[in-house]
Amino acid sequence: MPKLAPLTKLILTAAVSVWALLIPTLTGQMALAAGQLLLLAFYRPTGKHWQAVSGLALFAALLAAIQYVFGSGLEFSLMSGLKMFVMSLVFVFMLATTRLQDLTAALVSQCRIPYEYAFMFTSALRFVPDFLEESQAVREAQACRGYVFRGNPLKRLMDYVAIVEPLVLRAVSRSETMAMSLELRGFGRKGRRQFTADVALSSPDYVAMIFMLVLTIGLAIV
């Protein structure tokens, strides 16, 4: 599978969202989902990424079920669920196959987004696994003090609220430390910034972009 540049993947992310809105049929949405899964499979993602896909699929099914229960038609409910699934699946593809520093470099050097904003976006993504790790640590601490992860969903939700506060406090503390560490290493300094990441476009990127453009125009006309 040819290596695509981060910019191409960013454009793909936007394009897939547009396609999901333009495709009017259930079969078309399913084909779009299948295409994305196939594309993801070509890049040999890890088990964690497939877990994320399973989570998204479950959430989409839940969304469709809720729509159906509250009076929407079956086809409309399935369409809503599928649209949510394909729009978020493309983010899993982008994050699974792109390094965050490459993404920052592409946002700054090719999309002309100010470095501070691009860094903020990619740092927020970087915090997700940290957050999950912290959450796991608090849950382990609770388990060691006799908490059993069982019971009705309301009890579980209330118990989860108990760990939100320490998680938020830790996130703030960690972001403060990170901010200081960044400033101590020249973050925010005026002048030219050098990226070591190679995010230049190559021929597979141009081919992919032409394909995306043609498909978008085609779907808009049809």
Position 143: which residue type? A
Our finding on whether 153 is near another protein (CB under 8 A) is no
Given 113, 163, 178, 219, the residue binding another protein (CB under 8 A): 163
As a whole number of angstroms, the distance between CA 20 and CA 43 comes to 22
CA-wise closest residue to 22 among 91, 70, 87: 87
Given the complex with another protein, which of 167 and 215 has the nearer CB atom?
167
| Ramachandran quadrant class, 25 (left: phi over 0; alpha: psi -120 to 50; beta: rest) | beta
Please report whether residue 172 would count as binding another protein according to CB under 8 A: no
Binding segment toward another protein, per CB under 8 A, in 63-71, 109-117, 160-168, 175-183: 160-168
User: Using CA atoms, how far apart are residues 110 and 157, in angstroms rounded to an integer?
Assistant: 43
Among the listed ranges 10-18, 120-128, 135-143, 197-205, the one in contact with another protein (CB under 8 A) is: 135-143
Answer yes or no whether residue 129 interacts with another protein by CB under 8 A.
no
Indicate which single residue of 57, 84, 121, 134 sits in contact with another protein (rule: CB under 8 A): 134
Residue 135 lies near another protein (rule: CB under 8 A): no
- Residue 40 and residue 93 in contact, taking contact as beta carbons nearer than 8 Å: yes
For position 170 contacting another protein by CB under 8 A, the verdict is yes
Of 21, 120, 162, 168, the one binding another protein by CB under 8 A: 162
DSSP 124: H
For residues 77 and 68, give the distance between their C-alpha atoms in angstroms, rounded to a whole number.
6
Number of residues that bind another protein (CB under 8 A): 18
Helix segments in the chain, DSSP class H: 6-22, 26-42, 47-69, 74-97, 100-109, 115-143, 153-184, 203-221
What are φ and ψ of residue 56, in 5° steps?
Answer: -65, -40
Residue 166 as a binder of another protein (CB under 8 A): the answer is: yes
Rule CB under 8 A: is residue 178 a binding residue for another protein? Answer: no
Tell me whether residue 124 or residue 141 sits nearer to another protein (CB atom).
141
Give me the amino acid identity at 160.
Y
Position 144 contacts another protein (CB under 8 A): yes
Q: Does residue number 137 form part of the binding site for another protein (CB under 8 A)?
A: yes
Which residues sit at the interface with another protein, rule CB under 8 A? Answer: 134, 137-138, 140-148, 162-163, 165-166, 169-170
